[in-house]
Amino acid sequence: MSKAIRINQIGGPEQLQVVDVQVGEPGAGEIRIRHHAAGLNYIDVYQRTGLYPFAMPLYLGMEGAGVVEAVGAGVTHLQVGDRAAYASQPPGSYCEARVMPAKSVCKLPDTISFETGAAMMLKGLTAQYLLKKTLPQGGLQAGDFVLFHAAAGGVGLIACQWAKALGLQLIGTAGSDEKCAMALQHGAAFAINYSTENFAARVKEITAGKGVKVVYDSVGKDTWDQSLDCLQPFGLLASFGNASGPVPPFAPGILGAKGSLYLTRQTLFSHIATRESTQAMADDLFAVVASGQVHIPIHQRYPLEQVQQAHIDLEARKTTGTTVLTM
Ligand SMILES: NC(=O)c1ccc[n+]([C@@H]2O[C@H](COP(=O)([O-])OP(=O)(O)OC[C@H]3O[C@@H](n4cnc5c(N)ncnc54)[C@H](OP(=O)(O)O)[C@@H]3O)[C@@H](O)[C@H]2O)c1
């Protein structure tokens, strides 16, 4: 048996219920993992509220770390007793133990704790593909400016550090002066409090009128228009989330008018669609963490049973860095 968090219908945090479930044996291509911790991600909110629709009932959670307890037929990269971590579909990591596809599960290096593994796989692999693979024409070179919204959040504080390690000048936005200070401490070259300042005007000031080569935008509705105004001609708007709500439909002509801009909407799940790509990205993440260039900031811990409070705090913008649910 395992405690797990389930919703029977979409709605607010009150829908998150602790239930006892029977955990079976893994089938072909699957493993059973016993978690030490699970990661909290904003995508969990989208699934809970129905912005990203799923069949009900739904077991939530997309990130976890623990020990492999059983291995199904055909799984060769994991063995019983391995320490492991993952970012993965289908949801269901908010639990003590589960059976899941082995494809996205990676062996966790001994130097990385379970909590760090649970906190970093979805958010760290996202920072990896954004900064390394979601690039403007001609790529990014050391010294280039990029704009990263919600820079004091889970993905944000990892991206601040990784961008610095790559020699980029990351301009971070955040919703308070305290969060801006945190982004700067984690390697952002500049920080803008977008709840009090016009961030497009500040970006123009910082870049001497030129604008940035890429805007990484996970805030969505509230930042969309101004984000386009921050870009250089031929710059890239990399949209990857909707914390403030989804971006409404728009006319593509606006991209021409603002300087022949490029637009992409990325999701991690395209990048980790194969075992090989997942492992290659995870190896890159493990290396940058092991080197000390990126430290995974775990700023909140909640026991699994207090998952409702974790969601309340995440949606109220009270969290910074990463958050784990402990078992
Ligand atoms: N597409 C992908 O592959 C992918 C993968 C991972 C994450 N994401 C996206 O990346 C973003 C960051 O994820 P995360 O899990 O690390 O979350 P997070 O950044 O820790 O939390 C979300 C942050 O968004 C900001 N925000 C701005 N407007 C908001 C609003 N109206 N309501 C709530 N928050 C608002 C808040 O920071 P401030 O107070 O500083 O504004 C908040 O702390 C999310 O949008 C997520 O969906 C996308």
pLDDT digits (tens), the chain, 327 positions? 999 999 999 999 999 999 999 999 999 999 999 999 999 999 999 999 999 999 999 999 999 999 999 999 999 999 999 999 999 989 999 999 999 999 999 999 999 999 999 999 999 999 999 999 999 999 999 999 999 999 999 999 999 999 999 999 999 999 999 999 999 999 999 999 999 999 999 999 999 999 999 999 999 999 999 999 999 999 999 999 999 999 999 999 999 999 999 999 999 999 999 999 999 999 999 999 999 999 999 999 999 999 999 999 999 999 999 999 999
310 ligand 1 Cβ < 6 A: no
Cβ proximity of 75 and 102 under 8 Å: yes
The closest alpha carbon to 166, from 142, 187, 135, belongs to: 142
Quick check: CB of 207 below 6 Å from ligand 1?
no
Say how far apart CA 303 and CA 131 lie, in whole Å: 32
Find out whether 308 and 16 touch, Cβ atoms under 8 Å: yes
Return the CA Rg of the chain: 20
Looking from the CA of residue 194, the nearest atom of ligand 1 is 41
Q: Parallel, antiparallel, or unpaired for β 169-174 and 145-148?
A: parallel
Nearest CA-CA partner of 126 in 197, 63, 55: 63
81: left (phi over 0), alpha (psi -120 to 50) or beta: left
319 close to ligand 1 (CB < 6 Angstrom): yes
* 199/294 Cα distance (integer angstroms): 26
CB of 179 shorter than 6 A to ligand 1:
yes
Peptide bond into 57 cis (omega under 30): yes
Ligand 1 neighbour 124 (Cβ under 6 A): no
Residue 37 Cβ inside 6 Å of ligand 1? The answer reads no
Atom of ligand 1 lying closest to residue 240 CA: 1
Å from CA of 73 to ligand 1 middle: 38
- Classify residue 129 as exposed, middle or buried by CB count within 10 Å of its CB (0-12, 13-18, 19+): buried
